[in-house]
Structure 1
Amino acid sequence: MPAAERADPAPAGNGRLGATVFAAERQLGGGLTHMRTLLDVTDFGVLPGRHIDATPGARAALRAASDVAGPVVLRFPPGEYHLWPDDAQRRELYVSNTVGDDPRYGVKAIALVVEEADDLVIAGEGARLVLHGLQTTFAVIDSHRIRVEGLEFDFAVPTVVDATVVDAGVEEGRAYRQIRVPAATLFSVEGASIRWHGETLGSGEVAWSGRDALEYTQIHDPARRRTWRAPNPLFDRVRSIRPVGERDVRIDYEHAEEPSDLGLVYSMRSTTRDHPGGLVLDSSDVTLSRLRFRFLHGFGVVAQMSRDVSFEGCEFQTPPDSGRHSAGFADFIQFSGCSGRAVVRDCLFDGPHDDPINIHGTYLRVAGQPDSRTLELEYPHPETAGFPQFSPGDEIEIVDRATLQAIASATVRTVRQPSGRDHDQPLRTIVVTVDAELLGDLVGRTAVENVTRTPIVRIARNIFRNVPTRGVLVTTRRAVLIEENRFERTEMAGIYVSCDADEWWESGPVRDLTIRGNEFIEPGGPAIFLDPRNTRSDPGHPVHSGVVVAENRFVLDGVSALDAKSTHGIRFRNNGIVRLGRPTPDIVLQSCSDVGIEFDGDEPPAAPLAGSPPSGN
């Protein structure tokens, strides 16, 4: 963006002069406020409704809010604000499930940074923040008692291209399609190819670009209200491409096979998760309330190494009548290595490119054992590295990677590890010393989990729709309650419980999981899938335990209500199952024990896989 179009922040101190103090009786965001200092971003040169860069003024306002001693409210008045990356704050940060330690992406641009703040409310009912280029929408870092409410976030040019087939057929012996893209999508036709691209930044560079099908595609069928991953035929054997008006493109092919995808939406993107969509890092008591995420670039909102984080009443969905379908580049919400309570309630999840909710820890592979009390650990997955995992006093559990059974536990005494904020230490290795003598053959065959940083979870009254994967992934040993949610046609399982020390390395086992009062409408895989990735299982030594599935409603077509492996103590009761199509066992069990199943009326019993112990009542 040209420098002349950017707003300059107000001179130092102007925002303070405009601040007011208001008293105890005002109700804000569900909590009673007492003598809160009120700051307004307009006191810092940020004006809604103008297509200028609000980044410098917003940064000054956030800095002033963090400097106030005592409770603060920072207000964004209703209106539209534009945030460009040219003057965004930049931080070297390493975030789970993104780009690992790839040095090309270590530094992130962040539109709004809340850092070292305490007791701050950011209130923005009616405020719409439009991001440009590639950025993280917001980051809460090293902060406590933070509430962000009412804001709407969107991107001027989303990094996912949603192309709808609006016409198709065969003319003069050749097939053709006409595709339509949203008004926000920028492109140019170059010969028999399309170049999709972002905006031109103040540096003169284009924010991003790619050609034709890009690197990844998922397909959405608005009529059937399903979304799935599949190959992209739009750019196969292309003869010519030409624009038809401002938003339509006609593609002619070398073949005469009539397309059968009229009305389908092809959602295309790259596969590089260079930014988290939002970030809550090393913070506690953070609530995100009534936020509307119209698009998130990168890897969703990540809560990492934080405590007591809640999402309430948030909406992850594209703007109505925008022609867009994809509200996210990957996941919507991820909790990684968190503790305290992880709460997601009363939210809408519509149109991600991966899982709406994923809650997990991270297994580290044991790569060395210098002595009987010291372990050299490593991040084995290329997309996760660079952040700290342990503090002195944390309890760790060492598991056999093949069975996922615990073989030892200990308490951390000292640790040498990356900071997550720089590359001064090796980014893939961590060295811990513990308080106990360990076995001497742990290298390679074992993995370590920090069991102190595992949260209690509540996921309640959310709606999941147009999901190409699972609705909820959760692996934590503390109490998990998933209740009164509606899962609409997830392409895979509605709820997926893994535990994996071989692929994604997402830990750990569940010990107390209650799934009750939910609706599972035509999932593409088992509605509830308990699928630990152990390669050797024994019913006498299960990975998961303590699972109650009660009072749920399942509408199924060719899949099971529950598919469970290596789980002890399943209780399946008072559930209603409606079958629409192919008959399939309601329950599938493998290497499970102490299973109690109660069906209403004359419903048939489960059909365990061969070799599984029989179910009991």
Structure 2
Amino acid sequence: MSVVMIAFISFQAQANSTPKVYDLTKYGINPNTGKNSSATLNQAIQKIVTEAGKGNPIVIKFKKGRYDFHEEGAQKRTYYISNHDQDNPKTVGITLENLSNITIDGQGSDLIFHGRMLPLALVENQNLSLKNLHIDFEQPQICQVKILENDTQAGTITYQTAPWVTYTIKDSTFYNTGEGWEMKPTSGIAFEEKTKHIVYNTSDIAVGTAHVAEISKGIIKAFKWKNSKLIPGTVVAMRSWHRPNPGIFVHKGKDTRLENVSVHYSEGMGLLAQLTENIYLEKFNVSLRGKNDPRYFTAQADATHFSGCKGVIISNNGRYENMMDDAINIHGTYLKITQKLDNKTVIAKYMHEQSYGFDWGYATDSVQFIQSKTMELWDNKNSIQSIEVIRRKDSDPIQDFKIVFTKPLDDYIDPTKLDIGIENLTWTPKVEFKGNTVRNNRARGALFSTPQKTVVENNLFDHTSGTAILLCGDSNGWYETGTCRDITIKNNKFINALTNMFQFTNAVISIYPEIPDLKNQQKYFHSGIKIENNYFETFDKPILYAKSVDGITFNNNTIKTNKEYPAFHWNKKEILFERVINANIKNNTIDGKPFVYPAN
């Protein structure tokens, strides 16, 4: 039975119970009033849940229109959100906590947020569906400008801010401003004016926010900004590296469905889900508002991101475009062992500054251990007998754990001699990523790091800027698990990936675990990789890069070359392998001729 069918059965069971329908207008929630809905909407939802009886299936419907949410009257919550800034409390627009059997139907409504907010928090819910909604902000923290003049000899650039941008200039420094916030952009991404592709071979650029003067309203001259690639008409998304909030936050959910939901801007991920079992995305978009949208950007970071989830993750028929990072990233988190107290007990720690503050595992969870420098997994798996948070006071975020295992640890599990990570195998999901469009984004397309069955099929990867698909794994920096054991990449179309260089971008499909000591590695990190019946259209050489793989198939793929950009990548081979065994490469073509590997 496919993972899609499993998810369908789960959600169909909910649908078979006839829900009671509630109209928000009857509770004083009306569209297009311009009023602040932050307090009133949450109150209305709580009233409806009380009337219906907690747990009884209900549908809550918006009347189609615009609803505004401001920080005033919004709820404050302490949420530690994976891969985001761990600043608290969060200001939350809509909070749905500890609910079950609820559908929120926006009927095409726009939820417009102001200031710096977390729009939707879905926390510890079961059988919750969200559909037919648009999530956006009145004034994004990304500042969009258009290049008007570029004097490369003088090193000056004149640019025009987009109509919705407000700003101030203090001490000759440009600051982007909004409701309750002010920030100085520190880097930028340049887009072609007509295509909205990221400008070839630019990657992250410096931006002209220092030594500036206002020529007229909205027209700024930067006296020390030099970049010959920024021709007049180029649009630059000037940004910082802050990511305080995703557009939608899902925490400890079970059977969550998002259908026909679009996030048009968020100051972090479009969607971040953690410690969640079974999440289904159907026509979920992190996207512009069509071809005529004057914006060139969407999310500040990944479109979707899943940390420490289990069950199934299904993303079908979505559109992920113009975000400042990947379309999807699925992983767990390695804890680092800092002490071994006895032959069954360790102290282990979240290591990355954006990945702590929430549960890591539970009693009976299955775990395995990894030697961080060589990224070699030890064969002997174990399970958790007990796990205890260690902190000085209850208000401190969760970072350190005392873990007792059911079986004695081998002598070589010794943190005084080796850097050792722990992976939670129970909280790893099966994945389907089908029928999606990924385009015009910074960094990479899709990242998968799960040992469970993963299918990547019938997707379009169009000008992903960096690598289109990355299989990674890292117990040294981000500490994001882990090995892929059964992944099929088939019937996808790749168009002009790798127009820019970002981390891990060694080919259109890059299998790139972070291995500091590859020369001393004895085992292999990834395995069971099948890449079949895909179409690659490319201006440059590298199609497939793989490192530390035992078992990879690259069959029946079609490669077509073009001259749309100059070739520039350091990797001059269509297929480049490092420590790869059991490779099966056959029946591939390049420009209509058989592709022979290795080349003669």
TM-score by length of 1: 0.86
1:585 Cα deviation from its structure 2 partner: 2.3
1:208-357 matches, within 5 Å, as: 208-211=181-184, 214-223=185-194, 225-227=196-198, 229-235=203-209, 238=212, 240-244=213-217, 248-251=218-221, 253=223, 260-320=230-290, 321-357=292-328
Q: Spell out the pairing of 1:159-558 with structure 2 (5 A cutoff).
A: 159-169=141-151, 177-190=157-170, 192-199=172-179, 207-211=180-184, 214-223=185-194, 225-227=196-198, 229-235=203-209, 238=212, 240-244=213-217, 248-251=218-221, 253=223, 260-320=230-290, 321-407=292-378, 408-417=380-389, 423-424=394-395, 427-440=398-411, 441-443=413-415, 444-524=418-498, 525=505, 526-537=507-518, 541-558=523-540
Task: Report if aligned partners of 2:208, 2:225 keep a CA contact under 8 Å in 1.
Answer: no
Aligned-pair distance for 1:396? Answer: 0.8
Cα distance in 2 for partners of 1:432, 1:371 equals 11
Rate the CA distance shift 1:256–1:510 in 2: closer, same or farther, 3 A: closer
**2:344 partner letter:** R
Structure 2 residues not aligned, in runs of 5+: 1-10, 499-504
Match of residue 32 from structure 2 = 49
Aligned counterparts of 2:313 and 2:230: Cα–Cα separation in 1: 44
Structure 1 match to 2:19: 36
In the TM superposition, residue 126 of structure 1 has moved relative to its aligned partner by: 2.3
Moved more, 89-98 or 546-555: 89-98
> Contact 2:135 / 2:247 at 8 angstroms: preserved in 1?
no
Check 1:31–1:463 CA distance in 2 against 1; reply closer, same or farther (3 A cut).
Answer: farther
Q: In the superposition, relative to structure 1, how do residues 258 and 478 fare at CA in structure 2: closer, same or farther (>3 Å)? A: closer
User: 8 Å contact 1:470–1:492 — kept in the other structure?
Assistant: yes
Query: Secondary structure in 1 aligned to 2:580?
Result: coil
On the 8 A contact 2:496/2:538 being kept in 1, the answer is yes
Give yes or no for the alignment of 1:572 onto 2:554. Answer: yes
Residue aligning to 1:75:
61
Moved more, 56-65 or 462-471: 56-65
The answer as to whether partners of 2:156 and 2:224 remain within 8 angstroms in 1 is no
Aligned residue-pair number: 561
Native 8 Å contact 2:275 2:309 kept in 1: yes
More off after superposition, 160-169 vs 149-158: 160-169
1:596 aligns with 2:567: no
Q: TM-score, normalised by structure 2?
A: 0.88
Call closer, same or farther: CA 1:35–1:257 in 2, change over 3 Å.
Answer: closer
Kindly indicate whether residue 90 of structure 2 is the aligned counterpart of residue 117 of structure 1.
no
How far off its partner does 1:519 sit?
0.7
Amino acid at match of 2:115: G
SS of the aligned residue for 1:591 comes to strand
C-alpha distance in structure 2 between counterparts of 1:588 and 1:276, whole Å: 36
Deviations along 1:439-496, whole A, 9 cap, x unmatched? 3442152100100000000001111111111100110000000001111111211000
Alpha carbon RMSD of aligned pairs, Å? 2.6
Give the partner amino acid of 1:449: E
1:281 offset after TM fit, Å?
0.5
Structure 2 CA distance for partners of 1:154 and 1:229, relative to 1, 3 Å: same
2-structure distance, mates of 1:340, 1:352: 27
In 2, Cα distance between equivalents of 1:322 and 1:481: 32
Instruction: Give the aligned residue type for 1:192.
Output: S
Q: CA deviation at 1:539?
A: 8.2
Secondary structure of the residue aligned to 2:42 is helix
Instruction: Kindly provide the amino acid, as one letter, of the partner of residue 395 in structure 1.
Output: S
Q: State the partner residue of 1:17.
A: none
Give the 3-state SS of the residue equivalent to 2:414 in structure 1: coil
- 2:140, 2:265 within 8 Å by CA — same for their partners in 1? yes
Aligned residues with identical type, % of pairs: 22
How far the C-alpha of 1:236 sits from its partner, in A, is 6.0
* 2:114 pairs with 1:145: no
CA distance in 2, matches of 1:284, 1:429: 26
> Secondary structure in 2 aligned to 1:126?
strand
Matched AA of 2:177: H
Amino acid at match of 1:156: E
Mean alpha-carbon deviation: is it higher for 454-463 or for 406-415? Answer: 406-415
**C-alpha contact (below 8 Å) 2:374/2:521 kept by paired residues:** no
* CA-to-aligned-CA distance 1:543-571 (integer Å, 9 cap, x gap): 00000000000112223211001111111
Secondary structure of residue in 1 paired with 2:594: coil
| Equivalent-residue separation in structure 1 for 2:92 and 2:261 (angstroms) | 17
Separation of aligned partners in 2, 1:391 and 1:446? 20
Secondary structure class of the residue paired with 2:369: strand
Residues 394-439 of structure 1 deviation map (CA, whole Å, 9 limit, x = unaligned): 00111111222222321101111279xx954563211110111113
1:507–1:157 distance in 2 versus 1, CA, 3 Å? same
Residue 75 of structure 1, CA deviation: 0.6
